[in-house]
Structure 1
């Protein structure tokens, strides 16, 4: 525990630049994990990575503005988060496993009119959520959908069955 305290510094606002940078990295990872646990529907249109970065940057800037954190160390920690965000975004282009974890992969909810109830349950969606997504695409029933997918951004996209 002493080693962790040495890494993250005291809670009195007297942390060094390095300690604030370590805190930023730890909070970044914790924030991504919390948002992944909460589920993609919680924040709908933006990725978990973007949410964490926005929250940390907003908080860091706020604390620097109000004098609750040392100004230059706070800016350094914020810069670490921004650079980490950029590096992770670039890394997701190279490594698909990381991209799936950070951005999520689309999930098929309906295929050829058949609802995948396990996929709905796994992602915390009910029949009402699916019905709403279908209605938003002007589809009345799941049977009329060739494909309905929970996209990485949290929206349900639908491909209707063609007539015939």
Structure 2
């Protein structure tokens, strides 16, 4: 009965069967994202982005019949659960967090830009200036610390008033 609902896995599903797959996968996709946790998409790390892309790709292939329905869902669920397990383990073991996540990088310290760090991480002068302006700082001289965070955002701590 379920096979009649979702159609064959060879790409020959009817429009109604593809719609049934879409509904099932929509609900399962939400469940998978709930299992993975909120961090999968907010302040995404490279690992989070890869997992999200693979989950989307797997669900898409299962929906269109380009991959067998149940095996594709099982593999996707395994990936989401592994992601969640590693996320929990990185909270427990700092060494694993360093392996799995990016580390914050100082771009400006006490008004002095670290051009080498900026070049290495692909942060141009315009990118840095934009981040400074968003924090109401016009120049690096007004900044005590600017850091490229794990999320890819540049955080800025301004110098105390009257400094620099």
Work out the CA distance in 2 between the residues paired with 1:56 and 1:47: 14
Of residues 84, 87, 100, the one that matches 2:85 is: 87
- Corresponding residue number in structure 1 for 2:46: 48
Work out the CA distance in 1 between the residues paired with 2:58 and 2:137: 45
Q: Which runs of 4+ in 1 moved over 6 A?
A: none
Unaligned runs of 5+ in 2: 1-9, 12-40
Q: TM-score if structure 1 supplies the norm length?
A: 0.70
Work out the CA distance in 2 between the residues paired with 1:46 and 1:63: 24
Alpha-carbon offset, residue 69 of structure 1: 0.7
Report the aligned-residue RMSD: 2.1
Of residues 148, 151, 155, the one that matches 1:150 is: 148
Of residues 97, 100, 107, the one that matches 2:98 is: 100
Superimposed CA distance per residue, residues 86-133 of structure 1 (whole angstroms, 9 cap, x where no aligned partner):
111011112223212322111111111111111101101111111111
Superimposed CA distance per residue, residues 58-79 of structure 1 (whole angstroms, 9 cap, x where no aligned partner):
1111111111111111111111
1:130-141 matches, cutoff 5 A: 130-141=128-139
Unaligned runs of 5+ in 1: 1-11, 14-42
Higher relative contact order (CA 8 A, sep 6+): 1
**Residue 146 of structure 1: SS of its match in structure 2?**
strand
Greater radius of gyration (CA)? 2
